[in-house]
Structure 1
Amino acid sequence: MVQAQDFRSSSQDRARDYAILGNGSSAKLAWAAQDLHAAGAAGNAAAATAEKGLAVLQASGQALAKLLQEVGRLAPFA
């Protein structure tokens, strides 16, 4: 046990420092909409309204801006 070390994963630091990128607990990854549903869509489109669409668009834009800021701060992998 003399050589035993704490090999801290960089994912622990990302989870602490990046709310969106984190360790995958916030940002959910899918390559394409078809990964979520075979039709390439998700949700009940019949329940959509312009107001709901605007709210989603604004929230998505704010989250994207925050994600881009985090990516800009992310240190390159060694």
Structure 2
Amino acid sequence: MIILAWSNDVYKSVEHKVMVNQEVERHSIAYFLCPSYEAFIGCYDEENSIYKRFTFGEYRSQIQKDVKASGHKVGLPRFLVST
């Protein structure tokens, strides 16, 4: 499985619109929370991607190492292609 996510630091999201209803409580449910640890994360244009190809498991592991070492999530910059 390949998850097509970021496009070289450009992510286009749809505008989130919610109608407020004062009489009825609203509930939100996350249904795409985390992909499989074996799922590949990548740019739709892999040939020109500024990121190396990596799995969600590699990403999560790197975040845990970064937090343990520095107290911060570094995230995607760890997967940039060297120039």
- Whether TM-score is above 0.5 comes out as no
- Shorter-normalised TM range: under 0.3
Q: Which has the higher contact order (CA 8 A, sep 6+)?
A: 2
Higher helix share: 1
Greater Rg by CA: 1
